[in-house]
A and B are shown apart, each in its own frame.
Chain A
Amino acid sequence: MSSDMMLFLSLAAVAVGAALAMLFSRNAVYAALFLVINFLTIAAIYLLLHAAFIAVIQVSVYAGAIMVLFLFVIMLLGAEKVERSSRELWQRPAVLALGAVLIAELAYAFIGRAGSAEKALAAVPEGFGSPQSVGALLYSRYLIPFEVISILLLVSMVGAIIIARDDRKERG
């Protein structure tokens, strides 16, 4: 087992463990924090995959902005503790079973049929995944989606404000 593999496996274990922890934690704040760990771990894997720019984006936007927002809302709403579900008990085993099935399928799809699992990966070119290379593509071929994304962000911002402001408008 090479060092890459060991590194990867440990990172993967952390990620999966954090995800499981998020699933099972009663406290919503704890769940959010575990998710942050998960994101950071994934960012580390990105780095290993020659996706430096994306890794940084992941940390700053995903872990830094989105999860912070999540935490704001959790604490705002006081949703730390949520009781267990007592309804739809039949769903739990069914869903778990389905989940198992899905994992099996994915395992079969990805590992069982991969064939040359140990084939040698080609060396990536220099500067692959660097901000320059991403930016160069972003501003040339994918310019329009880039602009559209900005509009999307604007729209969502406006939407969020409107949704959150409705109450006050009615009262006023």
Chain B
Amino acid sequence: MNVPTSYLVALSGILFTLGVLGVLLRRNALVVFMSIELMMNSANLAFIAFARDLQAVEGQIFVFFTIAVAAAEVAVGLALVVAIFKARHSLDIDQVNTLSG
């Protein structure tokens, strides 16, 4: 596809920003988590774009690893969310504020 790499990277940037906004603006822990996944995904997109641009397969390999790590992270993270839910009976991350100064 003959799309300029910069357009792809711009898309990646937009998606990243949206992910950041999601992390900061939503209170549901799961939605926050999903926003993080969105961010990782945008990074993967950038990688693939540059892999194609530079004709280096290493970029795709990196994405492979990133996806694996995202899977692991989601597993643990969701386990944590479940544990917190069991303790507090709420998914509101604003409620997890006992570590305040």
Are these two chains actual partners, yes or no?
yes
Quick check: A49 and B21 within 8 Å, CB to CB? Answer: no
Nearest-Cβ distance from residue A71 to partner chain B, whole angstroms: 10
Q: Is the interface of B mostly helix, strand, loop or mixed?
A: helix
Fill in one digit per residue for A30-65: 1 if any B CB lies within 8 Å of its CB, else 0: 011001001100100110111101100110011001
Cα distance, A9 to B91, chains bound together (Å):
36
Nearest-Cβ distance from residue A28 to partner chain B, whole angstroms: 6
Pick from B1, B8, B11, B64: contact of A16, CB below 8 A. Answer: B11
Nearest-Cβ distance from residue B13 to partner chain A, whole angstroms: 4
Cα distance, A167 to B94, chains bound together (Å):
23
Nearest-Cβ distance from residue B51 to partner chain A, whole angstroms: 7
> Which residues of chain A come closer than 8 Å to B24, judged between CB atoms?
91, 95
Quick check: B4 and A23 within 8 Å, CB to CB? Answer: no
Cα distance, A20 to B14, chains bound together (Å):
10
From known contacts A23-B21, A23-B22, A160-B78, infer whether A32 and B34 are also in contact, taking CB-CB under 8 Å: yes
Q: Is the interface of A mostly helix, strand, loop or mixed?
A: helix
Fill in one digit per residue for B46-57: 1 if any A CB lies within 8 Å of its CB, else 0: 001101110101
Pick from A23, A133, A156: contact of B26, CB below 8 A. Answer: A23
Fill in one digit per residue for B1-18: 1 if any A CB lies within 8 Å of its CB, else 0: 111111111110111111
| 18 residue pairs from A and B, CB less than 8 Å apart | A5-B2, A16-B11, A19-B18, A22-B35, A23-B22, A28-B31, A42-B41, A54-B48, A54-B64, A65-B71, A69-B74, A69-B75, A111-B6, A117-B4, A134-B64, A142-B61, A145-B65, A161-B79
Q: B residues touching A (Cβ–Cβ < 8 Å)?
A: 1-11, 13-22, 24-28, 30-31, 33-35, 37-38, 41, 44-45, 48-49, 51-53, 55, 57-58, 60-61, 63-65, 67-76, 78-83, 85-86, 91-92, 94
Q: A58-B67, A124-B55, A156-B71 are in contact. List 12 more A-B contacts (CB 8 A).
A: A8-B1, A49-B52, A54-B48, A54-B60, A70-B34, A91-B24, A99-B20, A106-B13, A107-B10, A109-B13, A152-B69, A152-B72
